[in-house]
Every structure is written in structure tokens, then in C-alpha cells.
Structure 1
Amino acid sequence: MSPVVRPAAGPLAATFLDLPAGSPGGSVELFLDLYTGDKPLIPARAFMLTPAGPRPNVPAGLDLLAVSGKCLEGTGFSRYVAALRQALVAAIDPAQIGVLHLQHLTFGATPALLRALPAHPRIALVHGTDLLFAEAHRDQLQVLRETARAADAIVVPTGAMADHLLRLAPQADRRKVVHIPWGIPDHLLTDPPSRPARTSTSHLRLLYAGRLTAEKGAEHLVTSLAPIPGIELSIAAPRSQFHAMAPLLQRAGVRAQYLGWLRRPQLWKAFTEHDALVIPSTTLEAMGLVALEAQACGLPVLYQPVPGLNEVLAASGVATDFTHSAALARDLDRLRKTPGLLPALRQAGYANACRYPLSTTAEALADLGRQLT
């Protein structure tokens, strides 16, 4: 039986992720893991946006705000932030809130929360998309720098994220930066899904799981896999993104089984049905939570050693170069032919995942909130 993970005792947080409920991504899963459910790990008033179309089923403790006009720059962005602020003011009693948890240093929710609740302590949580969008959009860089100044504490999951943040916001107070790794659900570590016995070893079964945006490197994966024999590739990704990738798969002659955009338990089961997870990211990763969840389920990880991933995975996975087919082929051949390598990687990966229980993340964030209130 899995142990009961108790909510972290701390001040009630107000937190807001300005993505539509149901959006894909590791930061969304982390947000829901921490702040929602019947007994959230961090007690909170948690908000996301109402998506277009039918209202989705949302977890307990998640409120949706019907605000449209999301954008990144110019007067439209200012209007969007003002509308978010107005919706938050109508939804929140400031007297109930002890601390702000600012999801991202960029985007609209963070300045809206700061303006709706200007007198509360502020903990800012840095995600990879913050830094990528701040590099690409001047207005978002401005928001990032303003948030870094306004926050009482800036939480980074890896040292690589801190380094990148301080390059973008060199005036930020380094003393405010706190290292708290993200985590994966405790029950996945204590009660992982069982792994069926492998009946055939003629092919190496690879799984890609995640969004198919440019920085995730799926294009490099496909072109490098094309000449390599003995590979079966499965892809779990948003449907529209997989369809957009279909012409590349066809040109490369790579046959990929599309698994759908899987719910967490389905993804965990898929982890047990493959030989390795591939993470070909081309730029930094905040933490690589999907890699840790795979390791918890006994799935070895083959990864591009970008900042963040190389810190979290290190020797518990196999670092390779997805931009060079010969290097990738050599590492895949080693996985297939070296006796005992895959079982050893499964063992090392599980031990690594056990370093990152979500309850530890929640307790560290709650303790930080207690220090600030």
C-alpha cells in the first residue's frame, strides 16, 4: 500500500497558470499535482483559463477564469493582463491569502496576480518556457525582469535554470534565488506499474512522449533514426502536432505508431511497454519530469545532454547526440547488444527518480512560504 502523503502545512497560496484547462505540458502536470485535488499538497486558490468549447472536467480545487485575448506583446498584452487582474480581484478574498505562487516569470498571469494582490509575499517559480519566451519577445523579457525584481524568492529546479535566468536578468538579486527541484508523484515511486516480460528482442522499442514543438528536437530524432534498422518508434503527443509532423515522417521513411496524447496513468503504462524513452531536446529543459516519471516506471532514458537534463539525469541515463545519426546508431546498438545494460539502466534510473518525490518539493515550497509570511 502507498503511504499517505499529507498536505504541506503552510499559508494559503494564490496561484494562476494562464493556460486553458487541459493544455499539455510538464508544467501543467506539476501545477495540478501540487495545488489541486481533494487534498492538495499545497493549499491554494488555483486558477487556469476556461478553454474554448465544452467545459472540461477539472480536478477539485481548480477554478477557471473566462478571459480571452491571450497574447504576448504590445497593447493587446496590456489589455489581457488588465482583464486577468479584474477577474482575479472578483474571485479572490485577499484576507484569505497568505502568499503568491507566481507560475512563470513571464506571461499574463504573473503581472495580473501581482497587481490583484500587491501586498502579499511573492514566490516566483521559473519554468523553461519563461526563459525561451523572454529571449524571443521583448515584452516578455520586460515582464521577466520586473517579476524578478518584485519577487521575494525565485525558485529554480536546477542550477542551469538559475544560470540562464541571471543571464537574462543580470540585475536580479542572486540572494533571492532558491534551488527546489520539481518532483514526481510519490505513489509512482512506491507503487510503480508492473513491467511485462519481454517476449522478443528483435527490435528496440523507443518512445517519444511530449509536445512536438521545435525546441523538443523531434525533427532531429526522425531524421537521425531514418537510416537505423531494428527500431520501433512510438509517439505520444498532442494530435494536431503529430499530424503536422506526418509529412516529415513520410519523407524520412520512418514509421511511427501514434499512441495519442495520453493521460498520466496511460503514459505510465506505455513506459512499461517500451525499451527506452528518447528526449532529443535542442535547448535547456527546466527539469525533465517526463524522464523522471519514465525512470520511476523502469524505462531507461536516452537524452540529448542539454542544460537541466544533464544535471538531473547525468549517468542514470544515456547521453547521446540526436543530431548525428552515426552517434545515435552506435548508442542504440550498445543498448541492444550489451548484456545487462538495459536492466542496469532501469535500476539506476529508478534510484535517480527516487531522489525527486513530489512531497519533498511541496514541503520545501510550503516552508519557503512560512518563512516569508
Structure 2
Amino acid sequence: MRDLYLGPAPLVDADVFMLAPERSGDVDLTYSPELLEVEGKSLSGGEFWTYLDRLSSAVQDTFGQRDYDVIHFQHLTFGATPALQRVFPNQPKVALLHGTDLLFAAEYPTQADVLKQAADVSAAVVVPTRAMADLLRRLTGEVRAVHIPWGVPDRLLAKPPAWAEKPVELLRVLYAGRLTAQKATAEILSAVSQFDGVELAVAGPTDDYARLAERTDLSRVRFLGWLSREQLWRDFADHDLLIVPSVKLEAFGLVTLEAQACGLPVAYQPLPGLVEVLGDSALACDFGNLGALDARFKEFRTSPNLLAEVAAAGLSNSARFPLSKTARELRELSQEVAQ
């Protein structure tokens, strides 16, 4: 959202909103969207529809008198999409599908209904990978799915951070992202941190990490906290390998491309979306087989030429996905459905 719609020179001209955070420090308010104060966020049953009534009223009060050529649904589940549909029933819609939409639709019948309704009223559903389109159709039936990959900011592709010198005989591994059961289990992180010659760092939400640490020994993990985008890019240059051990679904894996753009090799669980985006430009690993994974990491640690080759392949791969291309294709689609 920040890449496309916000900043001093947004790539897509739009009015943007999100829920106000519970703590003011949770969101960078520079070039902020409209923050709507709506209580009672819920995911299912009657509580969801009551919450939706309140959210729709807030959207109406803030944006209802404005005229828009097209509405962008960012997410096909949760409350914002049906609220926008209520307030702007007649404007053309473009929906942008995210992985959490499919996960929550599979878990909550209410969100499955919301997703189906959003797909039905949208002139097109933007999917970052073709694998996501297949999963969407299993839940909603036939829809017009338009493949527009997410993108790496052009400024990062043009000028990645300076690379740090690699320590001898040490593999500096990084995990970066949300710490949900779908993305990184505590058992995988604990096991990797205890591999010989491996130093594991984790960049993620503090509260999530604390919950993992209560269940599993993470004493050998170096916790970095939740980093800003630019700080994460700089930290890529201080590591030798990014791991992406997602166990259920990865819609696109933008962080993998940003790591590749910084020259950091990637090791990933070969889920359909990641395979489509990364292919042979990254190292496919079975994170469910910890014994085999340990052997693979020994290979990475003792084969610097292998990691150098993967880093070079990653640089070439990330260059295929400039954010400017994503924005251009999204603007063109929006203009088409608005006519």
C-alpha cells in the first residue's frame, strides 16, 4: 500500500484508509493514509457484521462525498472491502488478492462469503502469481483473474546497500517477516539456530517472537525486532542467506525478491507461489526434514561458490519485477475497467 499509493510521489493516485493502530508507534505516519477509528474488529458471525456497520459508517463519513472512477479492494476478506462496496455500490472495482485472504477464507466461513462477494462484484481480480488464481477459483468459482506481479521498488534495484565482508566458517542466516504458524514455526527456527556453524537472526514482531520463545528454546537466536523497510535492506547485506520456511501458502514472497535485489541468496520451501517467482534463482529446501536441512546448510557453509552463484541468479531474477511495472499495469487495468 505504501509503495503504490503513498509517499511524496505516489505511483497510483488514490485516497487511502486503514484502521487506526492500537498504539501510535505501530504505523509510520509520514505520508499516512486516513486512519479510521473503528472499534470491535471481528472475523466471524454477527460480531463481524456489527463491526462492518460501524466501519461502513466511518468510510461514508470520510469519503462518501467524493467522486471516484474506480475502487481498489486491497484484500478480498476482512472489513474494508465490503464497507467500500456498501458506500460505493456502482463504481467499477478492481480487487487485489493477498495470501491472507485465502488463509482466512479457508478458516472462517464468514470470510469465505466476503471473499466470494468481493470477487463477484469486481471487474477484475489482480493476482501476483498464477498459482494464486488457481487457489482463488477453487473458493469462488470462475472469476476474471489478471496476473500482475508485485514489485521491488526501483530505487532498491538501482542502488542496493553496500555489501559487508563475510566471516570465515560462519553462515549468517536471516528470517524476516511475520511469525505466524504459516510462515515460520518455532521448531524450525530453533533447529536452524542450533546447526553447527550457523548464526540465525530473526526480524519480526516483538509480541509474536515472545510467544514463540515461551514454547521453544530460541536462546541461540539473535532477535532484531521489527525493522523498517530500509533498515531491513541494510541488514540483508550483513547476512549470507535468507530463509523462507513457509509451510502452507506464500502468495508471492516480496521479501525474497528484495533480498535478492540486495545480493542475498534465498533458501525457500518450494510452495507453488514461491516456485513461480523464484524458480532456480533460489535454493529449494525441505524445511520439514530437519536432518536433511542440516546437511544442506553444511553444504551452504562450506561452498561459498554455490552461494555466490545463487546471489548472482537472484540479482537477475529480482530485476524482472520493478515496482514501476506493477504500478503501470495496475493503472492500465484501472483505466480499462473505469471506461
TM-score bracket relative to the smaller structure: over 0.9
Q: Assess if the C-alpha contact under 8 Å between 2:233 and 2:258 holds in 1.
A: yes
The one-letter amino acid paired with 1:44 is A
The one of 312, 315, 322 equivalent to 1:347 is 312
The change in CA–CA distance for 1:216 and 1:339 in structure 2 (over 3 A counts) is closer
Q: Is 2:233 the partner of 1:268?
A: yes
The one-letter amino acid paired with 1:128 is G
The change in CA–CA distance for 1:53 and 1:281 in structure 2 (over 3 A counts) is closer
Q: Assess if the C-alpha contact under 8 Å between 2:193 and 2:200 holds in 1.
A: no
Matching residue of 2:123:
152
The one of 110, 115, 121 equivalent to 2:86 is 115
The one-letter amino acid paired with 2:150 is W
Q: 1:249 offset after TM fit, Å?
A: 4.1
Taking the aligned partners of 1:203 and 1:100, their CA distance within structure 2 comes to: 50
Taking the aligned partners of 1:238 and 1:288, their CA distance within structure 2 comes to: 18
1:222-233 map, 5 Å: 222-225=189-192, 228-233=195-200
**Partner secondary structure for residue 68 of structure 1:** coil
**Partner secondary structure for residue 58 of structure 2:** helix
Matching residue of 1:85:
56
Matching residue of 2:275:
310
**Partner secondary structure for residue 174 of structure 2:** strand
The change in CA–CA distance for 1:53 and 1:288 in structure 2 (over 3 A counts) is closer
**Residues 34-56 of structure 1: CA deviation (Å, up to 9, x unaligned):** 11112111000000111224475
Taking the aligned partners of 1:361 and 1:202, their CA distance within structure 2 comes to: 40
The one of 147, 157, 165 equivalent to 1:189 is 157
Q: Assess if the C-alpha contact under 8 Å between 2:197 and 2:301 holds in 1.
A: no
The one-letter amino acid paired with 2:6 is T
**Partner secondary structure for residue 234 of structure 2:** helix
Taking the aligned partners of 1:134 and 1:152, their CA distance within structure 2 comes to: 20
Q: Assess if the C-alpha contact under 8 Å between 1:106 and 1:144 holds in 2.
A: yes
The one-letter amino acid paired with 2:185 is A
Q: 1:226 offset after TM fit, Å?
A: 5.9
**Residues 101-144 of structure 1: CA deviation (Å, up to 9, x unaligned):** 00111110000001111111100110000000000000000111
Matching residue of 2:247:
282
Structure 1 consecutive aligned stretches of length 4 or more whose deviation exceeds 6 Å: none
**Residues 321-365 of structure 1: CA deviation (Å, up to 9, x unaligned):** 111112212221221222511111111111111111111111111
| Range 332-341 or range 49-58, more displaced | 49-58
Taking the aligned partners of 1:239 and 1:52, their CA distance within structure 2 comes to: 15
The one-letter amino acid paired with 2:233 is W
The one of 25, 46, 68 equivalent to 1:75 is 46
**Partner secondary structure for residue 216 of structure 1:** coil
Matching residue of 1:209:
176
**Partner secondary structure for residue 34 of structure 2:** strand
Taking the aligned partners of 1:207 and 1:247, their CA distance within structure 2 comes to: 21
Taking the aligned partners of 1:123 and 1:229, their CA distance within structure 2 comes to: 49
Matching residue of 2:105:
134
The change in CA–CA distance for 1:266 and 1:92 in structure 2 (over 3 A counts) is same
Q: What is the root-mean-square deviation in Å for CA atoms of aligned residues? A: 1.5
Taking the aligned partners of 2:224 and 2:190, their CA distance within structure 1 comes to: 20
**Partner secondary structure for residue 83 of structure 2:** helix
Taking the aligned partners of 1:61 and 1:44, their CA distance within structure 2 comes to: 12
The one of 301, 310, 322 equivalent to 1:336 is 301
Taking the aligned partners of 2:314 and 2:177, their CA distance within structure 1 comes to: 19
Matching residue of 1:33:
3
Q: 1:61 offset after TM fit, Å?
A: 5.3
The one-letter amino acid paired with 2:247 is T
The one-letter amino acid paired with 2:89 is P
Q: Assess if the C-alpha contact under 8 Å between 1:84 and 1:112 holds in 2.
A: yes
Taking the aligned partners of 2:318 and 2:123, their CA distance within structure 1 comes to: 30
Taking the aligned partners of 1:367 and 1:94, their CA distance within structure 2 comes to: 25
Q: Assess if the C-alpha contact under 8 Å between 1:130 and 1:144 holds in 2.
A: yes
**Residues 147-203 of structure 1: CA deviation (Å, up to 9, x unaligned):** 111111011000110111111112x33xx11000001111000010010222x2221
Identity of aligned residues (%): 46
**Residues 211-235 of structure 1: CA deviation (Å, up to 9, x unaligned):** 1110013324235426521110001
Q: 1:273 offset after TM fit, Å?
A: 0.2
Taking the aligned partners of 2:33 and 2:184, their CA distance within structure 1 comes to: 32
The one of 134, 138, 142 equivalent to 1:163 is 134
TM-score by length of 1: 0.87
What is the count of residue pairs matched by the alignment? 337
Q: Is 2:285 the partner of 1:320?
A: yes
